[in-house]
Structure 1
Amino acid sequence: MAAHARNDVLAHNIRRLWPADRNAVLDYFMRLDPETRASRFMGNVSEAGVRAYAAQAVTAEGVLYGAFVDGALRGLGELRPMGASPSRYALGPCAEAAFAVELAVRRRGIGASLFARIARSARHRGVIDLHVRCLSGNGPMLRLAAKHGAALQHVGSEIDGALHLARPTPFSLWYEGIAEAFDFTVAVSFPNREIAAV
């Protein structure tokens, strides 16, 4: 059966990406097939453009999460502020999420895991409305956004999905802090090691 037609869950781990992951992020973006790359960037982007984007992705405002399969980065989710961030640790009331999963491991649960992790991260950074934009022909992203309860609205050739997030609790904030500390330790100590997600 072709990889794109599978729907069984593939073992993977999600963790936050840090500057130590810069090379893995670059390799990941360069491996994307043309269609996936165009869907991620909402249009065609040159190899030089992809390299430039990947080089600054881990240090740009916001946070990145990666999905690792057998130690290799195979999916990436980004959470970026919409407008100026009120602080280093908060994104403000509105933020935007972007996702891409390599074709060979798509429809195996990775996109859903990335979406859930991004939504959790956004909730704990002061985001009330999380937006996901994609081209109207991006069926996988539309299904993922709808599955998580996003309200979809057509804007020209694009779709904007808006997800209203619940406010965090003291326990969920504590848990998020522990998870981020764990992610950082893994990134700097075992960047390619398969670690069970917390």
Structure 2
Amino acid sequence: MNMITPRAAEPIVAHDRPLQPGGRAPALVRELTAIDRERLLTHFLALGEDDRLLRFGQVVPNHVIENYVRAIDFTRDTVFGVFDSQLQLTGVGHLAYLPAEGDKRTAEFGVSVLESVRGQGIGSKLFERAAIRSRNTHVTTLYMHCLSRNSTMMHIAKKAGMKIEYAYGEADAYLTLSPADQTSIIAEMLQEQAAVFDYALKRQARQASKLFESFMPAAEAA
């Protein structure tokens, strides 16, 4: 078994950033609820075969994805999403809490990003948000399991300074988290507020666009 040891660094804490190169706004991560279940299903069904293999460890058919989405318990796990201007989920992070062992608590993180928006840091932002939530819910270890050829997950793990163990084409990555503090609690609150506000603006813009389009035929007829 090969292993990469972690760097001596504090766990990731995400902060607001200015526009990224190319004029793109940074991805804002919003916590999802059961109301978003249909959008989640649309997101996962949009993944191609290779992306499904990387996300779930095997090429899963549509009915398995449907069962997975229906089974998500939003009161037990935490699911995060990044929305585009059309209110479609371009990236999803699922934080699942594993049974506690004494005072040690582990959460497993899985992430998927649509091919059309890769390279914009969406996966990293989802991971950063999951790391903060984990700290603030007394998780001591954040864990990821994936195929070793999953370059996105490997990039996230190495960037975060996670301990990575390789075996038989698969990889397990572990990040030891610091306890929650005032900074992590406030950071998560501000990030959620920003994402909720951003979502509301996108929804208003979309509604206004639909309303404008509905008047177009009448205007052209006149």
User: What is the CA–CA distance in structure 1 between the aligned matches of 2:161 and 2:74, rounded to whole Å?
Assistant: 30
Task: Give the Cα–Cα distance (whole angstroms) in 2 for the partners of residues 139 and 184 of structure 1.
Answer: 27
1:144–1:171: structure 2 CA closer, same or farther, 3 Å change rule? Answer: closer
State the secondary structure of the residue aligned to 1:79. Answer: strand
Of 177, 182, 185, 1:165 maps to 177
Q: Which residue of 1 aligns with 2:161?
A: 149
Instruction: Give 1:9 deviation, angstroms.
Output: 7.6
Matches within 5 A, 1:1-198: 10-11=24-25, 12-57=27-72, 59=74, 61-70=76-85, 71-83=87-99, 93-177=105-189, 182=193, 190=200, 193=203
TM-score normalized by structure 1? 0.80
Structure 2 residues without counterparts, runs of 5 or longer: 1-20, 206-222
Q: State the TM-score, normalized to the length of structure 2.
A: 0.72
Deviations 1:118-162 (A, max 9, x none): 111111111111001100111121111110111100133310010
Separation in structure 2 between the aligned mates of residue 147 and residue 72 of structure 1, nearest angstrom: 27
Deviation at 1:175, TM superposition (A): 4.9
The answer to whether the 8 Å contact 1:9/1:109 transfers is no
Structure 1 distance, partners of 2:101, 2:37, is 23
Provide the aligned length of Structure 1 versus Structure 2.
183
Percent identity over paired residues: 28
Q: Does the CA-based 8 Å contact 2:77-2:96 persist in structure 1? A: yes
How far apart in 1 are the matches of 2:145 and 2:32? Answer: 22
Deviation sequence 1:20-70 (CA, Å, 0-9, x none): 111111111111111111111011111100111112225363100001121
CA RMSD of aligned residues (A): 3.1
Larger radius of gyration: 2
State the 1:10 CA deviation: 4.2
Contact residue 28 and residue 195 of structure 2 kept, 8 A: no
